[in-house]
Structure 1
Amino acid sequence: MSDHVLVIGEALVDVVVGPDGTEAHPGGSPANVALGLARLGRDVDLLTRLGLDPNGVLVADHLQDDGVRLVPGSAGAGPTSVATATLDAGGAATYEFDIVWELADGVRLRNAPLAVHTGSIAAVMAPGAAQVLTLVRALRFNSTVTYDPNVRPSLMGSPDEARPAVERMVGLADVVKASDEDLAWLHPGREVDDVAREWAGMGPALVVVTRGGEGATAFTHDGREIHAEAPAVAVADTVGAGDSFMSGLIDGLWGAGLLGRANREALRAVSDEAVAAILRPCTRIAAITVSRPGANPPTRAELDAG
């Protein structure tokens, strides 16, 4: 067992084409989670797929400069995935995606991590989703599994098409984080809290639902519900807010000694007070992120200064 977290999932470039020009920014939900953990001072590996092209170099430099370790084999043939948003004069965006999700053969992982995190496109899009599922099943014996569906409707088909893959991963996870919008899309017409309670009965110790400015609620496997309010903040944009919350959640579980196989029962028996103490910094981390443009999560020093 090694004191690090393994994140598995997509890293890509977000290209924004607007009236004033074109800008490219590193992105991808799992990559953002890895970045957030590294900025909080945690040892984190990212298993992803990058091309050996300028976009791949942009993403790799961005992540490695903040301390994310790219798993050997994450970069290889083919282009880096790109999501392009074209803005009209009024700021409305239309999107185009050029995304390939597949892990290379023969990647070399370190010793068993304390936790393995995945989510979003990586757990749903073929052919890589099957590889992610196989890895998570193999790693979960020793490692806490965390999962964030972070749905992308334009890439995941209909709710009926996406739901089986999402809920298969929910059943493998120890901790799930999902936004209220995720749950509303996956289960149209149902109450978000009812879906969260159902998911908490599928196997996770905790299902945490984020509600934007209304905070977050944790639903436990044994029927408890713990809420944390979100700090009031002037919002620049919401890009990366959920990912930074997820980083804070993993960080909080780590700090509370609740990650890893040896602590699985302690996680399932966690008290309301301990859950609330973990959630409060998560809402602050997300608030700092939305207070500035882009997926720009805080460092440990910024969090401590608040």
Structure 2
Amino acid sequence: MITGIVGCSFFHLLLMLCTGLSMLKSKRKSIACIGECMLELAPTANGLFKQSFAGDTFNTAVYLARQFGDELDVSFITGVGCDTYSQKMVTAFESEGIRTNALQCIEGRTPGLYIIENDASGERYFHYWRSASAARHMFDGWNSARIAELLVSYDSLYLSGISLAILDEAQRHNLIEALRVVKPHCLIAYDPNYRADLWPDNDICRQANKQLAKLADIALVSKEDHITLWEQTSKDMIATTWSSWGSTEVVVKDGGNDCLILMDGEKTTVSPQSCIIPIDTTGAGDAFAAGYVGSRLLERTTSEAAKEAHSIAAKVVQFKGALASHKTAAPNGNSNCI
């Protein structure tokens, strides 16, 4: 009898252990992108416009879901209105496999909107209407503790300079304080993505970037943006500067050129896998961010992550619009376009 009980207990312990290991193995990592999604109107033939949805962190969320959706749970945190177009926007999120449980519905607000204009040479210009954007009010009335309670439920967070710039001073302060609180529990990835028109002045922008640099586990810095704000032109210098501000892992992006990675005092340069002729570079940086951050979340090396990022971005720039209409690259950087 005793042997039977011991044997049975051992069997159940073994079963529980195997079940526990299986659950741990199957647990998917989660990432939430914070920011704004807008209505995009792009010109087509005969003076007509095609309507779609886009926005820097939303684009990144889409590419994360398309490229890594089998392994990552992707959410989007923003404010939406209660109007028809906001409902269509939420439907678009869900159709991409993006979780919408953290959306804030803001009464009396609507999505921001932008129109793309092409000149005779094909150069693109953007005209924005976002003063009534619901995303600008996503954390209205929230203190930092409430924001932190929302953010800490994710393994990783991704936001940009635009995510900060669209918020008023109080919301921006509370979001940054919340990020300080959750930093020990979440990987934080940040792209400064500078837009001069969204900031009250450049000094406020610089201060916010330094605050986020101190919190960022991964900083994805555009060489062009950094030159505009700090007039440092060397990728080495840019990487060293962000590292000195506190970023653990710095990736300096340079359009279609090599990217530079600085981590643990070691610098690595990763080249695009081939040269291509871009058709539209609008969403390239957002796609690069998805490839890099998604790969690092899945514990790939910095070089592997950069190759994946280059590969996805290379695919995206061959299509018009901020979002390509289909999955962008095969896993592990094997895009069929390069």
**Do both proteins adopt the same fold according to a TM-score greater than 0.5, normalized to the shorter chain?**
yes
Partner SS for 1:256: coil
The partner residue of 2:137 within 102, 120, 125 is 102
Corresponding residue to 1:33 among 52, 60, 80: 60
Question: When the two structures are superposed, what TM-score results if normalisation uses the length of structure 2?
Answer: 0.77
Secondary structure of the corresponding residue to residue 146 of structure 1 = strand
Task: Specify the SS of the correspondent of 1:209.
Answer: strand
Structure 2 matches for 1:76-155, cutoff 5 A?
76-77=106-107, 78-87=109-118, 93=125, 95-99=127-131, 100=133, 101-104=136-139, 105=142, 109=150, 112-127=153-168, 128-155=171-198
C-alpha deviation, 1:223, in angstroms:
2.7
Alpha-carbon distance between aligned partners in 1 of 2:165 and 2:235, rounded to the nearest angstrom: 21
Structure 1, unaligned stretches of length 5 or more? 258-273
Which residue, 303, 316, 320 being the options, matches 1:289?
316
Give the CA deviation at 1:115.
0.8
Amino acid corresponding to residue 43 of structure 1 in structure 2 = D
| Pair 1:299 & 2:331 matched | no
Q: Percent identity?
A: 22
Aligned partners of 1:30 and 1:120 also within 8 Å: no
Q: Evaluate the alpha carbon distance shift between residue 58 and residue 44 of structure 1 in structure 2; reply closer, same or farther with a 3 A threshold.
A: same
After superposition, the C-alpha distances for 1:209-268 in whole angstroms (9 at most, x for unaligned) are 111111311122x432111111322311011111111111111112217xxxxxxxxxxx
Q: 1:21 maps to what in 2?
A: 48
Q: CA deviation at 1:186?
A: 1.6
Number of equivalences? 289
TM-score normalised by structure 1 residue count:
0.84
Find the aligned partners of 2:243 and 2:33 in 1 and give their Cα distance. 22
Which of 200, 209, 215 is the equivalent residue of 2:243? 200
Contact 1:50–1:79, Cα closer than 8 Å, also in 2:
yes
The 1:14/1:132 distance shift into structure 2, 3 A limit, reads: farther
Q: Distance in 2 between matches of 1:300 and 1:88?
A: 28
Specify whether residues 286 and 79 from structure 1 end up closer, same or farther in structure 2 by C-alpha distance, changes over 3 A only. same
Q: Is the 8 A contact 2:74 2:98 kept in 1?
A: yes
Q: Residue 165 of structure 2 aligns to which amino acid in structure 1?
A: V
Question: SS of the counterpart of 2:155?
Answer: strand
Equivalent residue letter for 1:119: S
Q: Give yes or no for contact 2:30–2:156 (8 Å, CA) kept in 1.
A: yes
**Helix, strand or coil: the match of 2:256?**
helix
2: CA distance, partners of 1:300 / 1:13: 22
CA 1:90–1:289 in structure 2 vs 1: closer, same or farther (change >3 Å)? closer
RMSD value over aligned CA atoms?
Answer: 2.6
- Structure 1 match to 2:32: 6
Distance 1:72 1:114 in 2: 15
Q: Is the 8 A contact 1:178 1:210 kept in 2?
A: yes
Gaps of 5+ in 2: 1-26
- Contact preservation (8 Å) 1:71, 1:109: no
CA contact (8 A) 1:123 1:169 kept: no
**Structure 1 range deviating more: 153-162 or 241-250:** 153-162
Tell which deviates more after alignment, 27-36 or 288-297.
288-297
Matching residue within 285, 293, 299 for 1:250:
293
- CA shift, 1:118, in A, is 0.9
Q: Give me the whole-angstrom Cα distance separating, in 2, the residues matched to 1:94 and 1:37.
A: 25
Contact 2:243 2:249 in 1 (8 A): yes
The structure-2 alpha-carbon separation of the partners of 1:126 and 1:290, relative to structure 1 and needing over 3 Å to count, comes to same
Between 1:155-164 and 1:237-246, the stretch displaced more is 155-164
Partner of 1:235: 278
Q: 1:167 aligns with which of 210, 214, 219?
A: 210
Matched with 2:305 is 278
| Residue identity in the other structure for 2:215 | L
The runs of at least 4 consecutive aligned structure 1 residues that moved more than 6 Å come to: none
Matched to 1:112, the amino acid is S
